[in-house]
Amino acid sequence: MWNIVFGVSVWAIWMARSQVIFIDQQWNFDQVVNRAKFVSFEVIQGMGINVYILVSPYERHVRWVSPQSGWVKFNVDDSVRRYALQL
């Protein structure tokens, strides 16, 4: 599923970028994210994959925050893979 979500997300960003460049439309982050979620959901559902693992009780936006003066911050990447058990 990650391949589908990633591919659709890149597509949604590319479409938004094209609209900014070619039709002078304003960039709206929430619209891009919602479009990627909707299309990903539709593709995954169309493939017959259980979609219950995509639904989260809360949404969290992650962003980089600069450290306080006198501190050093190291950025790292953390990946998690969740497996759904199908009974």
Helix H or strand E encompassing 22: helix 2-22
Give the C-alpha separation, 65 to 59, whole Å: 18
Q: How many CA atoms lie within 13 A of 43 on its CB side?
A: 15
Question: From first to last of its 87 residues, what are the pLDDT tens digits of the chain?
Answer: 778 888 999 999 999 999 888 998 888 888 899 899 889 888 888 887 665 555 555 556 667 778 788 888 766 665 555 554 444
Residue 76: per-residue pLDDT: 63
Contact 54, 40 (CB under 8 A): yes
* pTM of the full structure: 0.53
Q: What is the reported pLDDT for 13?
A: 92
The pair of structure tokens assigned to 49 is 């994959």
Please tell me the distance from the alpha carbon of residue 36 to that of residue 61, in angstroms, as a whole number. 15
Other Cβ atoms less than 10 A from the Cβ of 56: the count is: 7
